[in-house]
A = this chain, B = another copy of it.
Amino acid sequence: MTSKDFTPYYAVIFTSVQSDYDQGYAQTAQQMVDLAARQPGYLGFETVSEGKQGISVSYWKDLDSIKSWKKVADHLTAQKSGREKWYKSYTTRIARVEREYSFEKLES
């Protein structure tokens, strides 16, 4: 995301706990990040992980963009593998971003 204010737009908040099996995970995760960035309506992506816990937030122009991305074939395959192998649990939240404000420290 740039600092430009696109509100209202949508965020997909994905909070997860990984399983002990991580073979193929990192590669597929990176492929999905790259693939998402090429979808119509994609605005940005942020992810942070700490041990098995992760929070990823992707940003989208509207709900239709999210619905389309959810159904992309390679993404469907990755979601299935996620449930079968890589995740112990996760929650996906679809949220409408109504306001945002940013702070950036000026270099002194």
Which range contains the number of A residues in contact with the other chain? 20 to 34
Chain A's interface: helix, strand, loop or mixed, by majority? strand
Report if A100 contacts B (CB, 8 A).
Answer: yes
B97 touches A94 (CB 8 A): yes
Q: Which residues in window 71-107 of A have CB below 8 A to B?
A: 83, 87-105
Report if A32 contacts B (CB, 8 A).
Answer: no
Report if A37 contacts B (CB, 8 A).
Answer: no
B95 touches A91 (CB 8 A): no
CB-nearest residue of chain B to A83: B103
A11 touches B93 (CB 8 A): yes
Report if A65 contacts B (CB, 8 A).
Answer: no
Give bound CA distance, A94 to B100, whole Å.
6
